[in-house]
Amino acid sequence: MNRRAASNVIGFLLIFSLVASVIAIVSVTGVDALNDIKQGEQSRNAERAFDVLSDNLNDVHREGAPSRATEISLQDAQIDTTGTATINITGWDSSDPDTNFTVNRTVNPIVWQPRGGDDTRISYEFGAVIREQRQGGIVVTEPPFQMATDRTILPVIDTDGFEPSTYSGTTLRVRGVRNTPRIITTGEGSMYDELEVEITSPRADIWASYLEREPGTDCSLGDAPGERDRVTCDLDTRDQLYIAVYPVTVEIAR
């Protein structure tokens, strides 16, 4: 083989290796980029679906609608309702113990999560929609709390009725049915020497960030049994106070 032929062969091999390397790099990075785009869009769609779920359940507990249903797509994802969260609201009046009250409700939050490598979770818990990610979390849709010092309204959305489970498939139907609300206290909030809101949840740190931004609240975060933390918020004197429990029976079906 002469030098020119050898040079041509070497040149061809170098060009072929370069093209093959570029194709391999583009294929790997391109697939990763497409997966990231797909997972991001999947999470955004789930967030929108949970926002609709929140609106529909608000119609049930606040507007008096007898029932509302929401469909949630579960393509490459699942819904988990096996976890628990507890809200505890207490008021103490040292001069009149008969007015003291305690509200304690434990629910199974509705949690969406992908089955792939994405660590995003979207949850419905006590009327709020919460997004969790590796770098932190945020309350996407606020609960129906109104916590101004002149007028504080704390409706407790008590969702129950379904068996805790993990759901997968194509589409899940979540239906909320209204039940009779129970008024806990309404009137002067200034009578209470102490007023406290406590939430025990895997998302307690996100609740703490949300609640401590409200006026007249002093929140602290602590450990709780299991994979949960507890946020405890002391509330300053409130002029008007309204607390009620709104039971909503939730039916989940494929």
* pLDDT, tens digit (0-9, with 9 covering 90-100), for 48-83: 999 999 999 999 998 899 999 999 999 889 999 999
Q: Would you state the pLDDT for residue 98?
A: 86
Could you tell me if 243 and 145 are in contact, meaning their C-beta atoms sit under 8 angstroms apart? no
Q: What is the CA radius of gyration of the chain?
A: 26
Bridge pairing between strands 77-80 and 194-201: unpaired
Report how far residue 72's alpha carbon sits from residue 177's, in angstroms, rounded to the nearest whole number. Answer: 17
Q: Does the pLDDT of residue 115 top 50, yes or no?
A: yes
Q: Does the pLDDT of residue 107 top 50, yes or no?
A: yes
> Which sequence spans correspond to the domains of the chain?
32-253
Q: Would you state the pLDDT for residue 94?
A: 86
The tens digit of pLDDT for each residue in 194-219 reads: 999 999 999 999 999 999 999 999 99
For residue 190, which phi and psi values (nearest 5 degrees)? -70, -10
Q: Would you state the pLDDT for residue 33?
A: 45
Strands (DSSP E) found in the chain: 67-73, 77-80, 85-92, 101-107, 110-114, 121-125, 128-133, 136-141, 146-147, 151-160, 166-167, 171-178, 182-188, 194-201, 217-224, 228-235, 240-253
Residue 231 is encoded by which pair of tokens? 């946020």
95-101 contacts, C-beta under 8 A, 24 or more apart = 95/191, 96/191, 99/185, 99/191, 99/192, 101/184, 101/185, 101/243
Q: Would you state the pLDDT for residue 203?
A: 96
Report how far residue 212's alpha carbon sits from residue 215's, in angstroms, rounded to the nearest whole number. Answer: 8
- More confident call, 198 vs 10: 198
Could you tell me if 234 and 195 are in contact, meaning their C-beta atoms sit under 8 angstroms apart? yes
Could you tell me if 239 and 154 are in contact, meaning their C-beta atoms sit under 8 angstroms apart? no
- Which residues are CB-contacts of 115 (< 8 A; sequence separation ≥ 6)? 76, 77, 78, 168
The tens digit of pLDDT for each residue in 164-195 reads: 999 988 899 999 999 999 999 988 888 898 99
pLDDT > 70 fraction of the chain, expressed in percent and rounded: 84
pLDDT > 90 fraction of the chain, expressed in percent and rounded: 64
Could you tell me if 228 and 202 are in contact, meaning their C-beta atoms sit under 8 angstroms apart? yes
Task: Round to the nearest angstrom and report the end-to-end CA distance of the chain.
Answer: 71
Q: Would you state the pLDDT for residue 34?
A: 45
Q: Does the pLDDT of residue 32 top 60, yes or no?
A: no
Q: CA torsion 158→47→121→244, rounded to 10°?
A: -20
CB atoms within 10 A of CB 134: 8
Taking residues 138-166, what's their average pLDDT? 93
Could you tell me if 229 and 200 are in contact, meaning their C-beta atoms sit under 8 angstroms apart? yes
